[in-house]
Amino acid sequence: VVIAFLNSLSGIAAMSAGFIVNSIILIVAGALVGASGIILTLLMCAAMNRTLLDVLKGGFGTITINNEYEKDPISTSPEDVAIQLSYAESVVIVPGYGMAVAQAQAAVKELTNTLKDKNIEVKFAIHPVAGRMPGHMNVLLAEVDIDYEDMFILEDINSEFSSTDVVIVLGANDVVNPLARTDEDSPIYGMPILDVDLAQQVIVIKRSMSPGYAGIANPLFINDNANMLFADAKEGLENIIKSFELV
């Protein structure tokens, strides 16, 4: 958000310089950069349900929250995940920053091909603020030739989670945290999220139970319909793919 805002200011500065040097090209280019930057800034703020002022003040992680979980999560193994996926008819993959850090997009493509070869429907749910910049997840998936038709934005995919057999969450955290819907005291309350907790089964591939950017626990991780595969995203996916040979 801050980067987009600074880009907008750079456009305004360029436009001002255009008036000073009497350059129409500089004025037009600066105006386009400034306008697009502020539009993008406001869109991302809306996706986080926060004002620009709150973002600039550092609204997340500034309060002390009890991040203790009421119970231990249900751990799973790559073999068990492969079995669950083999019996599924529909799978939705939610990419997050953990996928980017692990550079796991190639493994995602391989898993997608494996599932489609078994006539399993595969879709991707893209949250507007997943990753570190707008379109981050789309770019990574496009790098490995994931079909654009298989990528869905939040508004288009949320209604399908309740009828989805398995959701795979790859290193995402705050964008799938149900506290945004249920806890009015949560700093992310009201933030639009992907309703993955409504699916029949959720597989979370994550290295630990550590909180995301907002600094709060995610009750999804201890839901009865959620299993945690503690692993690097790339390693976890590769082990799942290998396990299909045993299924």
Looking at residue 79, its amino acid is E
Q: Could you identify the residue written with the tokens 């280019």?
A: 29
Distance CA 223, CA 176 (A): 12
E strand residue ranges, 96-165: 121-126, 151-153
* Pairing verdict, β 166-170 and 201-206: parallel
Let me know: does 226 contact 198? Beta carbons within 8 Å: no
2-21 vs 24-48: helix crossing angle, rounded to 10:
160
With CA atoms as reference, report the closest residue to 220 among 159, 160, 172, 187: 172
Ramachandran region of residue 103, left (φ > 0), alpha (ψ -120 to 50) or beta?
left
Sign of the dihedral defined by the CA atoms of residues 150, 154, 155, 158, in that order? positive
**Is 174 one of the annotated active-site residues of the chain?**
yes
Active-site option among 72, 165, 174, 195: 174
Let me know: does 52 contact 5? Beta carbons within 8 Å: yes
Active site (catalytic) residues: 174
